Amino acid sequence: MRKEIAAELYNYNKFPGPEFKQVGSQIMTDKIELQLVDNYREGFDLTAFNQRFSEILTKFDYIVGDWGNEQLRLRGFYKDEREQATSNRISRLEDYLLEYCNYGCAYFVLKNPNPRRASFDKKSPAKREREAKPKRNRQPRFNREKDWDNRREQKKAGKQTKKQGRNQKPKQPKAKEGNRHFVIRQK
């Protein structure tokens, strides 16, 4: 028998975000204001949204929530004008709803007028430095036959000196076709 838990007591999010309040079509907290753009089949539930919301979603221009198996899933989308991945643009919302959501499911779209990165989502200084440095053009090391020949000669000379310094076992001749340790059956 399944144990019944009140929705207010069951928090899906391990690190819950801020507590939101709804005033008409405005969803707001101290630092974040969102506008309810589309509420298909009354898909917006403030309690479930508070439980599922994470601060990482504040970097997106739109937040889409859809219901499947009585669970709310949130996903962020960017404006079409932004230079981001094409699959995360709001113009691809219909494709997302058809491909990844249950057919005819309740969903909602929230618009974030001032997106910003979360406090823990900052790029590390080392990564910023790597991105700021210009990449040097790599050219092939050996682009002439002469260089390749010199390289081969150096390798051969190095192998000979290494072989002379080691105690080597005499090489055994490779097994001939008649001395196999297995039998090939013919039908």
Other residues' Cβ atoms within 10 Å of the Cβ of residue 108: 23
21-111 adopts what CATH topology? Hepatocyte Growth Factor (3.50.4)
Give the integer Cα–Cα distance in Å for 175 and 178. 8
* Each residue's pLDDT tens digit, 23-74: 989 999 888 899 999 999 999 999 889 888 888 889 899 999 999 888 899 9
- Is the pTM for the entire model greater than 0.85? no
Q: How far is CA 159 from the centre of its chain?
A: 46
**Confidence bin at 150 (pLDDT 50/70/90):** confident
Give the integer Cα–Cα distance in Å for 105 and 66. 7
What pLDDT shows up at residue 170? 54
- Residue 57's contacts (CB-CB under 8 Å, 6 or more residues apart) are 63, 74, 76
The answer to which of 13-17, 76-80, 143-147, 183-187 has the lowest mean pLDDT is 143-147
* Each residue's pLDDT tens digit, 83-127: 766 778 899 999 999 999 989 899 999 999 988 887 776 665 555
Give yes or no for residue 180 having a pLDDT over 90. no
- Cβ atoms of 19 and 58 within 8 Å: the answer is no
- Residue 51's contacts (CB-CB under 8 Å, 6 or more residues apart) are 7, 10, 11, 12, 13, 16, 72
What pLDDT shows up at residue 182? 76
Give yes or no for residue 168 having a pLDDT over 80. no
What pLDDT shows up at residue 33? 92
Query: Which tokens belong to 109?
Result: 């779209």
The residue count of the chain comes to 187
Which of 63, 54, 44 has the alpha carbon at shortest distance from 112?
63
Q: Which has the higher per-residue pLDDT, 11 or 33? A: 33
In one-letter notation, the amino acid at residue 65 is: G
What pLDDT shows up at residue 40? 93
Three state DSSP letters for 104-136: CCCEEEEECCCCCCCCCCCCCHHHHHHHHCCCC
Q: Based on C-alpha coordinates, what's the Rg of the chain?
A: 32
Beta bridge partners of 23: 26
In one-letter notation, the amino acid at residue 156 is: K
